[in-house]
Chain A
Amino acid sequence: MTALAITIVATCVALLASVCLVLRIRLAVTPDSDNSQQILVERINAVLPQTQCGQCGYPGCRPYAEAIATGVAINRCPPGGADTITRLASLLEQRELPLDSRHGSETPRKVAFIREAECIGCTKCIQACPVDAIIGAPKRMHTVIERDCTGCDLCVAPCPVDCIDMLPAPATFQPLTWRPS
C-alpha cells in the first residue's frame, strides 16, 4: 500500500514537472527575447519624444517602445504627434495611422510655470515630475527648470493650490531632452 501511495505521488509530481518544464521551454524559445528585438526597441525609443508623460498608457517612452516592438499601435503618442507617427511608420514599415484621440490630442510644445507667490511648498509636483525638472523643498517655493521640462502636464493635477500653468513654449525653446546612452 505504501509503495502504491508513493507511486501515485511520484506520478503526480512527474506530470506537474513535465507540464511546467514544457511551458518554461516554450516561453524561453519564442523568438522575441533575442538581440534583434532589443535593437529594434532602442531604435523605436530613439524616435519617441522622451517626455515620459505616460499618455500612451505605459509608464514612459521606453516601455511604450517595448510595447510597440511587440505589436502595439504606433499612434498613441500625443506629444510626438503626426511627425513621430510618420517616423515610426517608416521605421516599422507600417501604414501611417491618425493619432488615437483616446490618448489625447496633439498640442504645441508647452512648458510648466509655477506661480511662485501662490506655491505652498507641498512637494507634490516634484514627486510627480518624471524628469526631475522641478526644484524646491518642503514648505519652500518651487520652480521649474525650463530647459528640462518636457511639458507632460503630470505636475498640474497633483498641485493642491492650482498654481501651475502650462504655457506655450517660446519658438526658440530647445528642451534638453533626455536620451538613453
Chain B
Amino acid sequence: MKEFYVVLVTISLVNCISLSRLTGPASWSGRPGQWRPSVSNPGAVTVFTVSMAALLVANTLFTAGTLTMTAMVTGLSMPPLLIVTLGFISTALMLLPLTTWIGRRYPQPGRRLRLLLPVAGAECAILTSLLILAHPDSGLGATLLWSLCAGAGLILMITIFGGLRLRMAVSDAPAAWRGLPQELVTAGILALALLSPVGAMI
C-alpha cells in the first residue's frame, strides 16, 4: 500500500504542475475573475480532475470486477502483467466516449485538455493496477472503496494546489522566483508534508 500512496502523491503533484502551466490559476471556473469551482460552467482544471477521479473509479470497477469474476469461476489469480494490460485496455476504451462527451459538452476546456486526458488515462491505468496489486486478496468492495478514497485524495490535492497557486500569482515575490521556480518549491514542500506518513508506515 505504501507504494500506491507514493505513486498517488507523485502523480497528483505532477498533474498539479502540468495543469497550472497549461491553464493558469483561474481555471477552476470558466468565468473570468472568479476562481471557485463551478458546476454549470467548469474550467479546464475542474473537468480534468473530476474526469480523472471518475475514470479511476470506473476503471477499478471494471478491472477488479473482471478479475473477481475470473477468480470465482476458475479459482485462478491473474499475473501482474495481465492486470496492468487489462487496466490500460479498459482505460483506453473508456477514454473514447469520455473525450468526445467532454469536447461536446464543454468545448473550451475540452480543447485545452485534448492532449492531457490521454495522459490522465495512462495515470489512471497505473493507479488501478497498483491498487489491485497492492491488495491482491481484498474483495471487490474494498478495492472500490480504496479507489474512491484515491479519487477524493486526488481532487483534494489539486484543489489545495490550485488555492496555493492563486495566492502565489498575486504574491510580491522576486522576479526570478515567480512562476515555475515558486511552484516547484511549493510542490516539493507539499511532497515532504504528504509523504511523511510513509515513514510511519515502514
Residues of A bordering B, CB below 8 Å: 1-2, 4-5, 8-9, 12-13, 16-17, 20-21, 23-24, 27-28, 30, 32-33, 52, 54, 57-60, 63, 66, 122, 124, 128, 130, 138, 154, 157-158
Contacts of A122 in B (CB 8 A): 170
Min CB–CB distance B171 → chain A (angstroms): 11
Q: Determine the chain B residues whose CB is within 8 A of the CB of A57 once the complex forms.
A: 31, 40-41
Task: Indicate if B96 sits at the interface (CB-CB under 8 A).
Answer: yes
Report the minimal beta-carbon distance from A2 to chain B, rounded to whole angstroms: 7
**Number of residues on chain B facing chain A (CB within 8 A):** 32
Chain B nearest CB from A6 CB (Å) reads 9
Contact A8 B74 (CB under 8 A): yes
Q: 9 other contacts beyond A9-B66, A17-B93, A130-B33, with CB at 8 A cut-off?
A: A4-B74, A9-B70, A16-B62, A21-B93, A23-B101, A28-B100, A54-B33, A59-B31, A59-B41
Question: Are B100's CB and A16's CB within 8 A?
Answer: no
In this assembly, does B75 line the interface, its C-beta being within 8 Å of a C-beta of chain A?
A: yes
Cα-based distance from A152 to B33 in the complex (angstroms): 11
User: Which residues from chain A contact B90 at a C-beta distance below 8 Å?
Assistant: 13, 16
Interfacial chain A residues near B78, Cβ < 8 Å: 5, 9
Interface flags for B12-42 (1: CB within 8 Å of A; 0: not) read 0000000000000000001111100000110
Q: Which secondary structure characterizes the binding site on chain A?
A: helix
Partner of B101, one of A4, A16, A27, A32: A27
User: Which residues of chain A are within 8 angstroms of B199 by Cβ–Cβ distance?
Assistant: none
Q: Is the CB of B70 within 8 A of A58?
A: no
Measured CB to CB, the closest approach of chain B to A62, in angstroms, equals 9
When C-beta atoms are compared, the residue in chain A nearest to B95 turns out to be: A20
- What's the least CB distance linking B12 to chain A, in Å? 26
Q: Say yes or no for B202: interface residue by CB 8 A criterion.
A: no
Q: Is the CB of A128 within 8 A of B33?
A: yes
Tell me whether B32 and A60 are in contact (CB under 8 A).
yes
The 5 A-B residue pairs whose C-beta atoms are closest, nearest first, are A23-B97, A59-B30, A12-B66, A20-B93, A27-B100
Q: State the majority secondary structure of interface residues on B.
A: helix
A52-B32 contact in complex given A1-B74, A2-B76, A58-B41, C-beta closer than 8 Å: yes
Supposing A24-B97, A27-B97, A157-B33 touch, asked if A8 and B170 sit within 8 A by C-beta, the answer is no
How far in angstroms is the closest Cβ of chain A from B73?
Answer: 6
Neighbour of A5 across the interface among B41, B65, B70, CB < 8 A: B70
Question: Of all chain B residues, which has the CB nearest A27?
Answer: B100
How far, in whole Å, are A68 and B93 apart by their CA atoms in the complex?
Answer: 32
CA distance A90 to B89 in the complex (A): 50
Q: How far apart are the CA atoms of A9 and B65 in the complex, in Å?
A: 10
A-B CB contact pairs (8 Å), 14 listed = A1-B76, A2-B74, A8-B73, A9-B66, A12-B66, A13-B66, A24-B100, A27-B97, A30-B104, A33-B104, A57-B41, A63-B107, A122-B170, A158-B33
Contact A9 B74 (CB under 8 A): no
Query: Please, what's the 1-or-0 string for B96-137, where 1 marks a CB less than 8 Å from any CB in chain A?
Result: 110011001001100000000000000000000000000000
